[in-house]
Amino acid sequence: MTKTHYVTAEGLEKLKEELNRLTSVEREAAARAIAEARDKGDLSENAEYEAAKDAQGLLELKIAKLQNVIANARVIDESKLNTDVIQVMNKVKIRNMKDKSVMEVTLVGESEANLEQKKLAVSSPIGRGLLGKKKGEIAQVRTPSGIIEFEILEISL
């Protein structure tokens, strides 16, 4: 079964730019590295050649994954978002019921998640626990370290 990847229009554009960079710039660099290593002699004992081939394999895997994400991307129509319940692309202010700390996060698709920017993947334990909740509700989130309760303080766009 293919997994749908929810992205913003901006996020999809960034993914396409990254794929273009990998296929046009990085792929050529990997091919050059292999050719240079091959020119150094016996391939059976050439560690540089093996390393270049491994790097190329990892690059091709990254390209394939990125192509899959783009192929299964669904651009979120931000004009149809609302703040009645928590959904992808909502900004949510929550309070940890245990330590009373308050944080504000934006729920995004996996490819756009970035903790430094307070963008949390909807597929993460906290993201899954918040989806569908309303302002004032308590979300019980199952995490690897146990259940954490969050009060939904605010939902915005």
Verify that 92 and 65 share a domain, yes or no: no
For residue 156, give the H/E element and its range: strand 146-156
Kindly report the CATH number assigned to the domain that includes residue 47: 1.10.287.180
Verify that 70 and 110 share a domain, yes or no: no
Verify that 84 and 143 share a domain, yes or no: yes
Verify that 84 and 150 share a domain, yes or no: yes
Verify that 85 and 35 share a domain, yes or no: no
Q: Residue 59: give the domain boundaries.
A: 5-75
Output the tens digit of pLDDT for each of the chain's 157 residues. 567 788 888 889 999 999 999 999 999 999 999 888 888 777 667 788 888 899 999 999 999 999 998 998 888 877 777 888 999 889 999 999 999 999 999 999 888 899 999 999 988 999 999 999 999 999 999 888 899 999 999 999 8
The number of folded domains in the chain is 2
Report in angstroms the alpha-carbon separations of 128 from 81, 138, 146, 149, 151. Answer: 18, 14, 15, 13, 15
Whether this model's pTM surpasses 0.75:
no
